[in-house]
Every structure is written in structure tokens, then in C-alpha cells.
Amino acid sequence: MASTGKKWAIGCGGGCLLVLLVLGGVGTCGYFGIKQVMDNAEDLKASLDELHDRFGPADSYVPAADGTISSVQLQVFLAAREDLVARAAPLSDILTTLDGNGQPLVKVRAGLKLIPSLIEYVGQRGKVLLEHDVHPGEYAYLYNLVYFVWLEHDPGDGPNFRISGNDPEDGNIRWNVNKGDKGEARRERARNARRELNTLLSRILSNQRDALTAGGDMDSAWAEMLDAELVALRDDPRRLAWQDGLPELMRSALAPYRDRLAAAYSEPLNGMEMAVFTDD
């Protein structure tokens, strides 16, 4: 994040008003100039740069041309998910606290840790993908198939508040807290997630279709199914890939891992996953 000039947005809401009062006074902006935060941001940038250097952009990922998902692939994805959820437990607690109805002082204490923890999470996520050698596009592809389509979680899952801002090069992180009515942040997160995942997965499935063509001896039924899904994604920009139901060969591959996959989902942290998927 540091020196990138990128905008960022993370679905967050209600209890953050207390954070504003403590860190920014009465108003809409706060400032973090803590050296630790900037050091974490530099670590984050380094891990994201290394991730890009190793794998390229997320939309360069090519799933197996025949549509299969291997047991090895799922075991690696699961290991990465379990590792990330364990490392991010403190952030999950912070988000849950800020989204709840707890004591004001408890919320203030959680709020003081929020920005450093958000930055650390994105850096840790990059490190986890590197350590488990998972292409970020593969991670997004499987996350969509497993959690939103197969296990039917809502892409809008996460806290009902939103933080947005930018990181100028003056050593400060500017941020805004936007409080809306109940469910507004989740609805906005779901809309953004669907749109961005549609764009990303359309490219990834197009890569898959190209690989199928290049392979020559293709399964015509699978090719027709893939073509139909690509058309559906193009016609509805808010459609999730395979949202009408996974092909049988995918469901069969996922079934033996259902319990572990379900346990590796984190509703509070889904907001952070969507922030990374929709990063501009």
C-alpha cells in the first residue's frame, strides 16, 4: 500500500463512529501516522509485489481445461485457507467487536487496532499464498466456487460498516468511516463483489476455454457448458461464475472436503477478501 497511491475500501459500520471520535475528532477523517503502520504497509507492498512477480495478474490463471479440480489442488487451497484464518483471528475479533453492541470503551480499544490489523491482514494474505504456492487467480476462482456457489454464502458477508480512503506519500493514511442503515454496507459489498468477480472469473473461464481449444481433443458437452456459462457471465455483469449450480465433476471433487472447507470460511473476514478482490 505504501507509495502505491491506490485507493482502498473495506466493508465496515456502526461502531466505527467511536473510532472517529478518538482518532480524528468530530468529523469524517482520521489520520494514522504511526511508524509501525507504515512499516506494515511496506511489508504488504513487498509481499504483493513478490506475488505478482511469481504468478502475474490474477486474471492470468488457467483452470484445468477439462474442468476438473484435483485433490492436490483442494488440499493446498484448504491449507492456505486454514493458515490465513488462524493468522487473522485477531482481526476477526476486532471486526466482530466493532460490528457488535458492546461497551464503548471496548469498541474504542478495538478501533485503535483496526487500521494496523487491516494492513497486516492483506500482507499476511499475500505471504500465505506465496508460502503455499497458490496463484491469486486460482484462490479467487476456488473461493467463488466453494463459498458463494457450492456452500451458498453471501458475497456481502462481513461487518456492517465500511472504511475507505487513500494512502498519500506524506506518511499518513487518510480514512473515512461510512455508517449506513442496517445491511447497507453488506448490500454494497455484495454488489461490488459480484461485479468484480464477474469480470475476473469471465477472464479466467475464457483462459480455460482457450486451453480447451488448444488441447484439440475436447469433450463437446463440457465445451458447450463452458461456452454457455461464458455467455451468461457476459449477459449479466452481476452473475457469479456457475451460480446456477456447479457442474457435477466439480461437486464430486469438492464433496470429500466439505466439512473442512466449511470450517475454513470466516464471515467477518469475507469483507476483507472482497476488499482484496475488488481492489482498484
- Give the mean pLDDT of 155-182: 60
177 lies in a domain? no
Residue reference for cell 442496517: 182
CA distance 156 to 188: 7
Q: How far is CA 184 from the centre of its chain?
A: 19
For 108, half-sphere exposure in the C-beta direction (CA atoms, 13 angstrom radius) is 8
- The residues, any chain, with a CB within 8 Å of residue 177's CB and separated by 6 or more, are 12, 13, 16, 17, 19, 20, 28, 30, 161, 162, 163
User: Are the beta carbons of 246 and 145 closer than 8 angstroms?
Assistant: yes
**Quick check: 179 pLDDT over 60?**
no
**Quick check: 257 pLDDT over 60?**
yes
The pLDDT, as a whole number, for residue 265 is 97
Closest Cα to residue 13, out of 95, 69, 92?
A: 95
Angle at 54 (CA atoms; ends 53, 57), nearest 5 degrees: 70
- Considering its fold, how many domains does the chain have in total? 1
74 lies in a domain? yes
146 lies in a domain? yes
- The residues, any chain, with a CB within 8 Å of residue 100's CB and separated by 6 or more, are 15
CA distance 168 to 41: 12
- pLDDT (tens digit, 9 = 90+) per residue, 115-146? 788 878 888 899 999 999 999 999 999 999 99
148 lies in a domain? yes
CA distance 84 to 86: 5
The pLDDT, as a whole number, for residue 181 is 61
Count H helices, E strands: the chain? 11, 4
**Quick check: 63 pLDDT over 90?**
yes
Determine which helix (DSSP H) or strand (DSSP E) holds 11, and give its type and residue range. none
91 lies in a domain? yes
User: DSSP secondary-structure letter at 256?
Assistant: G
Closest Cα to residue 45, out of 3, 7, 91, 80?
A: 3
1 lies in a domain? no
107 lies in a domain? yes
What's the grid cell of residue 181?
442503515
pTM beyond 0.85, yes or no: no
Range of the domain at 228: 35-159+183-277
**Quick check: 21 pLDDT over 50?**
no
